[in-house]
Each structure stands twice: as structure tokens, then as C-alpha cells.
Structure 1
Amino acid sequence: MRTLLFLHTTDFDAKEGFELTLEMKLVICSAFVQITFGLRQDVLNIFNEVFVTPTSYSYAGRAIFYDGDVNPFTQRVNLSWPAVEKGFIITDDGLNIAIHEFGHCLIIENAKRNYLARTFNETDLNTWKALAIKKIPAVKAGEYQIFREYGGTNLMELFSITIETFFEQPHEFYSYSPTFYRMTAKVLQQDPRNSKNPKELRNG
């Protein structure tokens, strides 16, 4: 139901000549539903357009190629299908571009919402930020090995990389940093270590 709701409230488009199938759309939708399973937000209000490309892409004047990004000017989520597909085929490497980019969307939209309508509990999110800020230098230096170094760029990137790891390597994440894991679970209101009932948060 949540997947279909997201599908019908999101405008999907693709690069000319690339066939974006219903199955592909549902896979992309599932990433958003996975993140928000324990939250009150079922759809995106600002970034409700998803553009899919058949390969990595670049912007005019830039030499960098992207597998995904959230563009605040066009209010669009851009995704490379091969990267999305790989993220769901390999489920235990802490890499999922769709989860990563939707994580950005949620943080941005949360900040723009009325206080009473925010996606995340403000106290929990601020506690998460306080823990994350202390970890950024070590992540950037490659010393915090559960997260890739790009997570040390800023809090926004660390949040998205954290939730990628949270869903794909929950037991490893918990073993590496129990306190940070539990706080991430509290922010997202779910614990993927509980396969039978992810909404039931575990203390240990």
C-alpha cells in the first residue's frame, strides 16, 4: 500500500530512449518505503519527481559523473538505473544509491516542515547529530571503517551513508558502534535486526 501510494504521488521520467518499466519504478519506490517504514511520512512533498538515466551522468561544465543526486533547484531526484539495480542485487555492502538519495530528501524536507509536522522527532535527530558530528573527523580519515570516507564530508552525507549501512549491514553496524546504531534506530523508528517486527526497537 505504501509503495503504491509513493508510486502514484511521484512523477517518474527517464532519459529519452530509455524505457523505465513499472518494475523499475517499484524498486525505486521500495527504497523510500524501506526508510520511512517506521515514520509518519509516506510521500515526498518537494522532491516528488524522479528522473532515471541508463548510465552515470554529469552536469554541464563538470567533469564529475554521478550515480545519483538530489537537485534542490529542479526539486528532482536523479538516479542511474544500473546503480539502483546494483544496490538491490548486492544487499550487504552498505551501498544503495536510492536509499542514499532519499535520505537527503527526507532531511531537507524535514527542515522545511512545520515543527509539529516534522518527519523526525526533533530531540532524537539532534541527539543523532551530536553523536555524528564527533564521528565526522574519524570517518573522513578512514578510521571509522563501518562507513566509507565520503561520509566525512558533512552531516548530510553521513546521514545518508549511515542509513545505507543501517539497512544493509545492521549487525555489523551495531557491533561497531552500539550507541550510534541505537540512536539511528530511534530516529528511523525501526530496527532491521528484528526481521519479524522491525518496528520493535531492541535495547541490545
Structure 2
Amino acid sequence: MEAAIVCAALAFAVLVAWFVPRWRLNRVLARPLTDVQLGVIERNVAQYRGMPRELRAQLQRLVKQFLHRKTFVGCAGLEVTEEMRVTIAAQACLLLLNRPTRVYPGLHAVLVYPGAFLVPRRQQDEAGVVTETRQDLLGESWGDGRVVLSWEHVRRAGLPPEGTHNVVLHEFAHQLDSESGSNNGAPFLGSPERYRSWSETLSRDFALLRRDAYWGQRDVLDPYGATNPAEFFAVATESFFEQPHELAGRHPDLYAEFEAYYRVDPRAWLPAPAPVPAHHDVVYGQWR
């Protein structure tokens, strides 16, 4: 009898643990975003303005899930505002459209600094000598369920002097990359055929970017993507969403791989850029 009671109690506890969070999430999803929240998305997510109604509704639903499940923490005295929360959530959720998703299940907290932040680093040379340094960063994706961002650079994404850099897209691309089990530039793709095609295309374009970076030649892809395959994936994700026309023109096979993976075509949301005069010197900044 006692065993039956214990089993029933455990079953009830499991049911409550499953049902209550789901009930709370459904309540959140049933409520529309406020006019203030929608205004933030309209203002700070350029891609949203050109989306069809169905994709806008998808993004709004994803934003509500993100805001409900993730904790935002202000650092270095920063007070996190609703504009910060909604802007970060909306930009991060651009990467999840048209795909089944649990909205970054491994992510628990977003740490937001007012501006660039210092991170300690340990470097060991070939002789085994360890050097302690501090690196100035705009964002970082950690494997313990945290993403760190500079609000100054989140807010200025897509605006001069950042241009097409987007720290949120960059760091959340790393989050997607890690869902396959490691950060190696190959997120979960679903089939061996997709991995073969992905590897061939990205390896080739990664090698081309490394060559261009070595010789100081400019490309639509930021030279920081030449650091390693994981950074190449993150940098290419930025270009896919921020410069889709330029990426498709310069790297058509790479664009096709990202279009298949992300299941959207951002060229439909953003106007094609005006032709650049031959004498105009375009300068692409380096991601730090």
C-alpha cells in the first residue's frame, strides 16, 4: 500500500513538473507583444520590416518564448531595460525562423555589459611559457549556458561605424554550432549528405577567406572569420542576414548552404544595395 502511495506521489510530482511550466509558457504565448515591444523590434531589427506577416508572427512567438525562458543580467552597473531584452531576443530569434526549435535549450542567461568588456586569457607558447592577458571583447558565447554581449554594439548593429557587424547574430550562431556537440563550424544538419555538401562548400570558402585575409584583400566576409571554422560560421551567419545580396553575389554556393540551413532567404527582406562606384574604397572592420 505504501509503495503504491509513493509511486502515485512520484507520478503526480512528475506530472506537475511537466504541466506547470508548459501552462505558464502557453499563458505567455497567448498574450500578444505590447505596442512598445513591437516598436522596439520594428526599430532595431531591420530584417523585420521587410518580412511577410507570417514570418513576423513567427518571430513574435519566438521572442515571447525567449523572454519567458532566459534570464537577463546587467553587468558593470548596467540596468537591463525592456528595449535591451526585446532587441537581443528578436535578433537572436532571426536564426530560428521556419525551423522546429526549443529556442536555444542550452542557454540560460544573457549577460549584458554597457560596452566592450575585458576577459582574462591564458596563452601558452611553444616553449611552454604561459602568458596572462586581458582581451577586449564585444561578445562571447560560453559553453555553460551563457552569452555575454556589449549593449553599445548590439544597439549599433547595422549602423556606422559597425556597418554590417551584428554581435547578437555572431554569438548566437556559436550557440547553434554547439548544439551538434562541439564548436567546429558544423551545426546539426540532419543527414550525412548535408554534412558532405556543407563541409565541401565551407572548407573551400574558408580557405579563400584565409588567403584574402593573408594578402589583405577585402571580402563581404569579415577577415575574423579566417580565425577558425567556428568563427567562419559565425561571421558568415552575420553576412547572410545583414548582407544577403552581397554574400549571394560573391559566394553563391555558401549562400545556398546557409539558405538551406536557416530555411529563409533574407534577400526578400532587405533592399539590394546601390552599386558601389569603382573608385569607392569600402573598408570592412575586424570583429574582436
After TM superposition, the score normalised by the length of structure 2 is 0.61
Aligned-residue CA RMSD (Å)? 2.3
Aligned counterparts, 1:179-190, within 5 A: 179-190=253-264
- Is the contact made by 2:107 and 2:147 (CA closer than 8 Å) also made in structure 1? yes
Distance 1:38 1:63 in 2: 40
Distance 1:38 1:124 in 2: 18
Note closer, same or farther for the CA distance 1:144–1:130 as it changes in structure 2 (3 Å cut). Answer: farther
Distance 1:120 1:9 in 2: 25
Are residue 101 (structure 1) and residue 171 (structure 2) matched? yes
**Structure 2 counterpart of 1:10, which letter?**
K
- Is the contact made by 2:96 and 2:103 (CA closer than 8 Å) also made in structure 1? no
Residue aligning to 2:146: 76
- Is the contact made by 1:7 and 1:29 (CA closer than 8 Å) also made in structure 2? yes
Residue aligning to 1:17: 77
Note closer, same or farther for the CA distance 1:11–1:120 as it changes in structure 2 (3 Å cut). Answer: farther
The structural deviation recorded for 1:3 is 0.5
- Is the contact made by 2:63 and 2:93 (CA closer than 8 Å) also made in structure 1? yes
Aligned counterparts, 1:41-52, within 5 A: 41-52=101-112
- The 3-state SS of whatever aligns with 1:39 is coil
Note closer, same or farther for the CA distance 1:126–1:84 as it changes in structure 2 (3 Å cut). Answer: farther
- The 3-state SS of whatever aligns with 1:13 is strand
**Structure 1 counterpart of 2:62, which letter?**
R
The structural deviation recorded for 1:42 is 4.0
Distance 1:16 1:178 in 2: 42
After TM superposition, the score normalised by the length of structure 1 is 0.84
Q: Which gives a bigger RCO, structure 1 or 2 (Cα 8 Å, sep 6+)?
A: 1
Note closer, same or farther for the CA distance 1:86–1:147 as it changes in structure 2 (3 Å cut). Answer: same
Residue aligning to 1:115: none
**Structure 1 counterpart of 2:190, which letter?**
N
- Is the contact made by 2:139 and 2:148 (CA closer than 8 Å) also made in structure 1? yes
- The 3-state SS of whatever aligns with 1:58 is strand
Distance 1:180 1:80 in 2: 29
Distance 1:95 1:124 in 2: 28
* Identical pairs, percent: 25
Note closer, same or farther for the CA distance 1:43–1:32 as it changes in structure 2 (3 Å cut). Answer: same
Match of 1:166 among 233, 240, 250: 240
Aligned counterparts, 1:137-176, within 5 A: 137-141=207-211, 142=213, 143=217, 145-176=219-250
Match of 2:203 among 118, 129, 133: 133
The structural deviation recorded for 1:56 is 0.8
- The 3-state SS of whatever aligns with 1:190 is coil
Note closer, same or farther for the CA distance 1:88–1:21 as it changes in structure 2 (3 Å cut). Answer: farther
Residues 133-182 of structure 1: CA deviation (Å, up to 9, x unaligned): 12223212324611111111111111111110011111111111212111
Match of 1:7 among 55, 67, 77: 67
- Is the contact made by 1:84 and 1:97 (CA closer than 8 Å) also made in structure 2? yes
Residue aligning to 1:121: 190
